[in-house]
Copies of this chain bind each other. A is one copy, B any other.
Amino acid sequence: MIIPTEIIQQKRNGGSLSSVQLREFIRQYVAGNIPDYQMSALLMAIFFRGLDADELVTLVRTMRDSGKVLHLSDITGFKIDKHSTGGVGDKISLILAPLLACLGIIVPMISGRGLGHTGGTLDKLESIPGLQTRISLTKFKRILREVGFVIAGQTDEIVPADRRIYALRDATATVESLPLVVSSILSKKLAEDLDGLILDVKTGTGAFFPKQEDAIQLASRLIAVGEDFGIRVRALLTRMDQPVGVKVGNWLEVCETVACLQGKGPTDTMFEVYALALLALRAAGFTDDSSELLSQLKQAISSGAAMERFLLYVRLIGGDIQVIENTARCPLPPAIPIIAVKSGFVTELNAYQIGIASALAGAGRQRAEDSIDPVAGIHLHAKIGVVVQEGEVLAEIYTHKRNTNEICKLVSKAFSISAEKLPLDKIIIGEVTRNSELKPFNELV
């Protein structure tokens, strides 16, 4: 028998919890024997005191084992998932998953929804008419076996502890805690029976952890704990100062995904896709040199193989593939243009403000129960480093909202235009190691 107040007090005083204490606290909470108010006190104590390596492994394992765990051993192949810490315009997963599947990697991907200024992969997929990401485990495995990848929502059966704890953290201002973020990410990923995990850890204005040192800490702890569970983890540190690609919003990002899969995607987006793909292939044991792997990846795009996989997946999960094959069939609301008030170089394009503007336009939600408008969003016509002329269209807003003043103001303010050109930061900062080192990533240069 554990005494909850003793455990809270021990953590509050900076002590370490034994694996029995922490495990039983979580289990009793999930079983309904420990009330929310004791869990929230423990979460706040963890916010201030942290968790050591052993505590974190115990927390991750207990959360993972709170529900069903996938068993994919009957599907042959190296199983890998990619996780992004969340950003604006981040449709990388939708492109990366079919691409990796073309090279024989098995990608079982359980994704989440957007909250606040960041979008969610499931919301993007569900902007495709008919598509339903809430599927059974049986269907999940059937699609995975047939297509080589699957993207679906978390069912009630998988990691129920995380769902309950995450909702409580959201209501008690304990979201931004490194060990709690790590446990939430890894408990879900480890329930997928993976061999490897690729992390896209974002930093900058639009990232969950804007400061680079915090993002590096997060990456290195994810690697350390993941590897303690016996999977191969690689982490790329990428810049989220401006949105990824040129489209932000659910259906708009599906359109951009289709463009990427057709070989017509923006350079920054494809650069990031290829970088993460290379990390995944190396983790899976591919030993060819980078240029050889890169040409295989490009071949999967140019041959239409990746697009074909994507269409097969959409069809099997209930989506209308006709609108995918011809995205113009999906009507958008009238565009509201945002005009450059002066000429010069775009020196800033604040991802956070664009994310908030897109959410306000209808693409995001403030609360988990809010509904979203699939076609709302923002199309960016200029990005950092580009020259614009006064009167030129910087962006177009798609929304069904009546009052668009604040949205327009936010998008307009997100752009900084200057006479002087600033040096352009690379989207990929480097690869983070288990020991918080930052290795240059030059594979694509």
If A35-B36, A36-B36, A48-B48 touch, whether A8 touches B172 (CB-CB below 8 Å) is yes
**Contact residue among B41, B43, B173 (Cβ-Cβ distance under 8 Å from A173):** B41
Interface status of A40 (Cβ within 8 A of chain B): yes
Which residues of A pack against B, CB within 8 Å?
4-6, 8-9, 12, 35-41, 43-45, 47-48, 168, 170-174
Q: Which of B8, B37, B173, B174 contacts A36 (CB 8 A)?
A: B37
Top 7 A-B pairs ranked by shortest CB distance? A41-B172, A44-B44, A9-B173, A36-B37, A8-B173, A37-B40, A40-B41
A238 to chain B, nearest CB (A): 27
Q: Which of A38, A44, A48, A171 has the most CB of B within 10 A?
A: A44
CB <8 Å contact, A12 and B173? yes
Rounded to whole Å, the gap between the CB of A367 and the closest CB of chain B is 11
* Bound: A187/B210 CA distance, A: 42
Chain B neighbourhood of A36, CB < 8 A = 35-37
Which of B37, B47, B48, B173 sits near A172, CB closer than 8 Å? B37
Chain B nearest Cβ from A174, distance in angstroms: 7
Taken together as a complex, chains A and B put the C-alpha atoms of A48 and B177 apart, in Å, by 15
Bound-complex Cα distance A174 to B4 (A): 13
Residue A37 contacts which of B4, B5, B9, B171 (CB distance < 8 angstroms)?
B171
State the Cβ distance, A276 to closest chain B Cβ, in Å: 32
Q: Give 6 pairs: A residue, B residue, CB < 8 Å, sorted on A.
A: A5-B172, A35-B37, A36-B36, A36-B37, A37-B171, A38-B171
A49 to chain B, nearest CB (A): 9
Are B170 and A37 in contact (CB-based, < 8 A)?
A: no
CB-defined contacts of A4 to chain B, threshold 8 Å: 171
- Contact across chains for A170 and B5 when beta carbons are under 8 A apart: yes
| Nearest Cβ on chain B to A213's Cβ, whole angstroms | 17
A5 touches B44 (CB 8 A): no
CB-CB nearest in chain B for A46? B44
Alpha-carbon separation in the docked complex, A35 to B48 (Å)? 22
Q: What is the CA–CA distance of A35 and B40 in the complex, to the nearest angstrom?
A: 11
CB-nearest residue of chain B relative to A11? B173
Q: Do A173 and B5 touch (CB < 8 A)?
A: yes
Per the bound structure, the CA–CA distance linking A417 and B124 in Å amounts to: 76
Q: Kindly list 9 other residue pairs between chains A and B, CB separation below 8 angstroms, not including A35-B171, A36-B36.
A: A4-B171, A6-B173, A12-B173, A35-B36, A37-B172, A40-B40, A41-B41, A41-B44, A48-B48
Q: Is the CB of A41 within 8 A of B174?
A: yes
Q: Which residue of B lies closest to A4 (CB)?
A: B171
Chain B hits for A174, CB < 8 A = 12, 41
